[in-house]
Amino acid sequence: MTQRTDVVVIGGGQSGLAAGYHLRRLGIEHVILDAQTAPGGAWQHTWGSLRLFSPAEYSSLPGRLMPVQPGQTYPDAGHVVDYLADYEKRYELPVRHGVSVKAVHRDGTLLRVATDCGDWRARAVVSATGTWTRPYLPAVPGRLEYTGRQLHTVRYQDPAEFAGQRVIIVGGGNSGAQIAADLAHARVNTTWVTQRPPRYLADDIDGRALFDHATARRRALDAGRTDTGGVASLGDIVAVPPVRAARDAGLLTAKPMFSRLTAAGVQWTDGTVAEVDAVIWCTGFRPELAHLAALRLRGSRGRIATVGTRALAEPRLHLLGYGDWTGPASATLIGVGRPARDAAREIADLLRP
C-alpha cells in the first residue's frame, strides 16, 4: 500500500519532533516515521546515571521549555524521555512509532519512502535518524584476539554488572568521562585511557557556553568573519557534578591509549600489559544514513554535502541533527530548533505552487 503526504520526516527523536513542530506551524502536511515503539529516540537507551551537560532550560526544543527535574540541575535521560513524550503529545505531532524506513528513492517529481509496513510518496523528506544506531569502534590491533567482553557506550547500563571486574574505558569525551566516573564511584577496578590528556572545560562552563559559542560561530561565519573554531576548541569534557567529584577525588586519572589488545587484556607501546575483564569503547558514533544509499549522495567521510540542512544534490531532502555539518549545535536539544525551523521554511518555499 502506498500513502501520500507532503513531507515524510524519518526519525521521531528530538530532531524529528523539532522538524514536526515547525512543519505544523507552517501548516505543512507531514508524517513522522520512527523505528522505536515508544517516544524518546536514543534517550530511551542511555545508561542510568547519564546527566545532560546543560540545565533543563538550556535543553529545550522550540515552543516548550523543559521543566526542571526536582533536585537535579542537570537532568537525567529519563527526564528527557518524559519531556519528549509530552512534547509529541502536546503538539499532536503525527508520529507513527514502530515504522522502520528501509530506503528513499527518487520517483519522478516525488520521493518514495519504503518502510517495513508500506510505502509513502512525498514531495520532500527530512532525515533525522541520529547516530545512536551506528556506534563507532576504532580499528585497534588485536581486537578480535581479545577474549574478554567488549561493549560500546550504547550497551553500557549500570556499574553493578561490572562488580568485581577489571574494566578499561576507552575515550576522552563526555561518554568516556561519565562512564569512567560512574564505575569509579561504584568502586569497580577501572582504567581510563584517552588518546590525549583529558581536556575538561572550566568547572563553571557547561552546555550553555557550548551553545553560545556555536551561535557566535554561526553569526561570524554568516557575516563572513573569521571562523572562531568549533566547540571542540573549548575542551572535550563538561565537568558535570559526578565527573567533577570523581576527578577531584583522584578517581579519574587517564592513561595514554594502549597500542593493542591481547587475548587477556591490553598492551601499551612500552610493553606494559594489563589484564582486563571488559573493554568499554566510548569512541563515538557515525550518522545513520543507510536508508539514503539509493540516492547516492554520500561524499567524503560518509557525509552528504549540504547547504544548511538541504542536500546539495537533492533539494527535496533535508538532514537534521547529525552534527555541525547540518547546522551549528544541531545534534543538541537546544541547538536543533533553529535548523529545524530553517528546513521547514525551505520546504514551504519548495512546496509553494
CB of 131 to ligand FAD, least distance (A): 6
Q: Does residue 125 contact residue 104 with C-beta atoms inside 8 Å? A: yes
Least Å distance, CB 334 to ligand FAD, is 6
Q: Is 291 in the site for ligand FAD (CB under 6 A)?
A: yes
Piece of the chain touching ligand FAD by CB under 6 A; list 7-15, 87-95, 158-166, 251-259: 7-15
* Smallest distance from ligand FAD to CB 144, Å: 26
Examine residue 53 and tell whether it contacts ligand FAD (CB under 6 A).
Answer: yes
Which segment (13-21, 105-113, 192-200, 214-222) binds ligand FAD by CB under 6 A?
Answer: 13-21
In three-state form (DSSP H/G/I as H, E/B as E, the rest C), the secondary structure along 241-304 is HHHHHHHHCCCCCEEECCCEECCCEEECCCCCEEECCEEEECCCECCCCHHHHHHCCECHHHCE
146: left (phi over 0), alpha (psi -120 to 50) or beta: beta
Q: How far is the CB of 4 from ligand FAD (least distance, A)?
A: 19
Q: Does 231 bind ligand FAD (CB under 6 A)?
A: no
Q: Concatenated DSSP letters for 105-167?
A: EEETTEEEEEEBTEEEEESEEEE---STTSB-----TTTTT--SEEEEGGG---GGGGTT-EE
Applying CB under 6 A, which of residues 9, 32, 33, 66 lies at the interface with ligand FAD? 33
Alpha-carbon Rg of the chain, whole angstroms?
Answer: 21
Binding mask 185-224 for ligand FAD (x = CB under 6 A): ----------------------x-----------------
Binding span for ligand FAD by CB under 6 A among 6-14, 139-147, 262-270, 292-300? 6-14
The H or E element that residue 86 is part of is helix 77-90
- Examine residue 316 and tell whether it contacts ligand FAD (CB under 6 A): no
Q: Residue 3: enclosing H or E segment and its boundaries?
A: strand 2-4
Q: Are the C-beta atoms of residues 151 and 162 closer than 8 Å to each other?
A: no
Which residues is 273 bridged to in the sheet? 267
Number of residues counted as binding ligand FAD (CB under 6 A): 34
The residue (of 103 and 274) whose beta carbon lies closer to ligand FAD is 103
309 binds ligand FAD (CB under 6 A): no
Q: Given the rule CB under 6 A, which residues bind ligand FAD?
A: 10-16, 33-36, 41-43, 46, 52-54, 59, 100-101, 128-130, 132-133, 175, 207, 288, 291, 321, 331-333
